[in-house]
Chain A
């Protein structure tokens, strides 16, 4: 059984990964809603929502809509949002030797090992505008149509700058493959260091691609009600929102992969996958300790919030008090557990010894590789959530652009900067190489 598992593990992982990664990203989704609402509240000097519930409503289907396209509309962005994570590398390939077999087996942290990974990503990503346009057109109503027009014009305009912004990074790395891009960043430095202008351009273009503030004219509620999803309600509306947040999470993961070092820990070369595998004990120790300290700090903040709540509450609402108490206790215990696990990992884990295989490939013990994969997945997940936090932060800071300002910015400013950036990068890359 164990032998069979070892021999077929790479197949099992290859089959499970395309399902597991979207499922994990789906778990980030409610977290994003929480970050969005609570972040908005704290930025605006208010405590934020203190009630949450789910409203199961059958929803309405207007007699005037084109039913087929109307129902397909929200599904398209959701499918795209679930497909695109398959292209991103979530951890470094794990190579191991199965006893009794000559060749080493490799588990890839990427479901679709396409040479043209980034191109495929953009090709899929640009399809999601069809969901918005289809939904808005099939709604057969004025506000959705205006929203859909705005969305299509904006998303197509910014795709040009987005592609050009990434080209600089591709020139430096010399490959379209996302694995190569991440590995280059592990060997040299993060993309944001060599391509700061490209990073900013890509970030702005991604805000526009995700329909996020300050580029959310497609649903500008002050002018056109809900924009493209005005006629949508209940689960169909929720599909649109899910897709929007999923799109944002995937975009953040792509930004992290392209410019923030992907699954690599430090923005300095030489601390790549091999280094992490060699020092898996101390690395785990430090990371777990950091996480534990963060959780303890969070528990402390919740305690303070609970005290402030109790000072002002007139009626003693037991369930609310219990909620704060439970959070504080759970996070305190989790923090302590992380600290303990970190200390245990540092002290107890032996230094892994690598075996040099036939192709000059260093093969580490399975546990070192596995823990490294876990560390790397956590690193890119944390980076993704931080970039999502940036999305939220920007949303509650900047006002919405006017439509003509968006067009002017996209075509007259960003495109030119992207072209100049590309030119400079090309010349410098040619000179350096």
Chain B
């Protein structure tokens, strides 16, 4: 069924149009002059130099969490790659030298060109080994292979880049809670 759009009822001055044009010109010039005199009014930023703050729960590029000794927390259970709707996670498992842990990833690759940034892998992970809180949302490379990031790249992060109250991030090597975590780790109370 066709929708009938009613014609606007224009007054004679609006039909003459020149007055409306003048009003429009006044509006735009008002904006231009105000912006010229007060450059703080801009709605946008000088992008590469000034960036807007992204919320901490924004789903950006992934990272792999680390144990206090620097090993990946991942146990290569394939839950994330199974949950992934884009099938962008490729894991090769191997036996872990730690007798308490069965497996560890020999390779852990994420193809960021395939990834849809849905966050299902984070939800699926049983041991909080993968997160998407790097806030790294500008992914640039000059070839497709470079968008496939490996285990080293995923674990290449510093605890100082994350909030102090994020205990899990801070317990990583170099973190301010690392010494305490390592102590807990060796005394067997680490969780």
* Bound: A394/B29 CA distance, A: 10
Interface residues on B, range: 20 to 34
A45 lies within 8 A of chain B by Cβ: yes
The reply to whether B43 and A45 form a contact with Cβ atoms under 8 Å apart is yes
Given the contacts A200-B18, A317-B49, A397-B21, A311 and B40 also touching, CB distance less than 8 Å: yes
* Bound: A396/B31 CA distance, A: 12
The reply to whether B28 and A397 form a contact with Cβ atoms under 8 Å apart is yes
What residue in chain A is nearest B50 (Cβ atoms)?
Answer: A312
What residue in chain B is nearest A47 (Cβ atoms)?
Answer: B42
Interface residues on A, range: 20 to 34
The reply to whether A42 and B27 form a contact with Cβ atoms under 8 Å apart is no
B25 lies within 8 A of chain A by Cβ: yes
* Bound: A308/B37 CA distance, A: 11
Q: B2-48: which have CB < 8 Å to A?
A: 18, 21, 24-25, 27-29, 31-32, 35-48
A39 lies within 8 A of chain B by Cβ: yes
Q: Which residues of A contact B24 (CB under 8 A)?
A: 397-398
Q: A361-405: which have CB < 8 Å to B?
A: 393-394, 396-398
* Bound: A47/B50 CA distance, A: 12
B51 lies within 8 A of chain A by Cβ: yes
Q: A311-343: which have CB < 8 Å to B?
A: 311-315, 317, 320
Q: Which residues of B contact A304 (CB under 8 A)?
A: 37-39
* Bound: A292/B46 CA distance, A: 29
The reply to whether A45 and B35 form a contact with Cβ atoms under 8 Å apart is yes
B-binding residues in A (CB < 8 A)? 39, 42-47, 50, 200, 301, 304-305, 307-309, 311-315, 317, 320, 393-394, 396-398
Given the contacts A393-B29, A397-B21, A397-B28, A47 and B49 also touching, CB distance less than 8 Å: no
Q: Which residues of A contact B45 (CB under 8 A)?
A: 312
**Extra inter-chain contacts (17) besides given A301-B36, A309-B39, CB under 8 Å:** A39-B32, A42-B32, A42-B35, A43-B31, A44-B31, A45-B31, A46-B43, A47-B39, A50-B47, A307-B39, A308-B39, A308-B42, A312-B46, A313-B49, A314-B49, A393-B28, A397-B25
- How far does the Cβ of A172 sit from chain B's closest Cβ, in whole Å? 23
What residue in chain A is nearest B49 (Cβ atoms)?
Answer: A313
* Bound: A301/B39 CA distance, A: 9
The reply to whether B43 and A315 form a contact with Cβ atoms under 8 Å apart is no
- How far does the Cβ of A421 sit from chain B's closest Cβ, in whole Å? 14
What residue in chain B is nearest A50 (Cβ atoms)?
Answer: B46
- How far does the Cβ of B21 sit from chain A's closest Cβ, in whole Å? 7
Q: Which residues of B contact A315 (CB under 8 A)?
A: 49
What residue in chain B is nearest A214 (Cβ atoms)?
Answer: B21
The reply to whether A47 and B31 form a contact with Cβ atoms under 8 Å apart is no
Nearest first, the 6 closest Cβ-Cβ pairs linking A and B are A308-B39, A312-B50, A313-B49, A42-B32, A46-B44, A305-B39
A-binding residues in B (CB < 8 A)? 18, 21, 24-25, 27-29, 31-32, 35-51
Q: Which residues of B contact A45 (CB under 8 A)?
A: 31, 35, 41-44
Q: Which residues of A contact B35 (CB under 8 A)?
A: 42, 45
What residue in chain B is nearest A390 (Cβ atoms)?
Answer: B25
* Bound: A305/B41 CA distance, A: 11
Contact of B46 among A43, A44, A47, A396 (CB under 8 A): A47
Given the contacts A43-B31, A45-B31, A45-B41, A313 and B36 also touching, CB distance less than 8 Å: no
The reply to whether A43 and B32 form a contact with Cβ atoms under 8 Å apart is yes
* Bound: A295/B18 CA distance, A: 33
* Bound: A396/B27 CA distance, A: 11
Given the contacts A45-B35, A304-B39, A398 and B46 also touching, CB distance less than 8 Å: no
* Bound: A309/B42 CA distance, A: 11
Given the contacts A42-B32, A301-B36, A304-B37, A397 and B27 also touching, CB distance less than 8 Å: yes
The reply to whether A396 and B28 form a contact with Cβ atoms under 8 Å apart is yes
What residue in chain B is nearest A46 (Cβ atoms)?
Answer: B44
* Bound: A43/B31 CA distance, A: 5
Given the contacts A45-B35, A47-B42, A305-B39, A314 and B18 also touching, CB distance less than 8 Å: no
Contact of B40 among A50, A308, A397, A398 (CB under 8 A): A308
The reply to whether A309 and B25 form a contact with Cβ atoms under 8 Å apart is no
Contact of B50 among A46, A314, A397 (CB under 8 A): A314
* Bound: A313/B31 CA distance, A: 23
The reply to whether B39 and A314 form a contact with Cβ atoms under 8 Å apart is no
The reply to whether A301 and B37 form a contact with Cβ atoms under 8 Å apart is yes
Given the contacts A305-B39, A397-B24, A47 and B32 also touching, CB distance less than 8 Å: no
- How far does the Cβ of A241 sit from chain B's closest Cβ, in whole Å? 23
* Bound: A320/B40 CA distance, A: 17
The reply to whether B28 and A43 form a contact with Cβ atoms under 8 Å apart is yes
- How far does the Cβ of A400 sit from chain B's closest Cβ, in whole Å? 14
Q: Which residues of A contact B43 (CB under 8 A)?
A: 45-46
* Bound: A12/B35 CA distance, A: 47
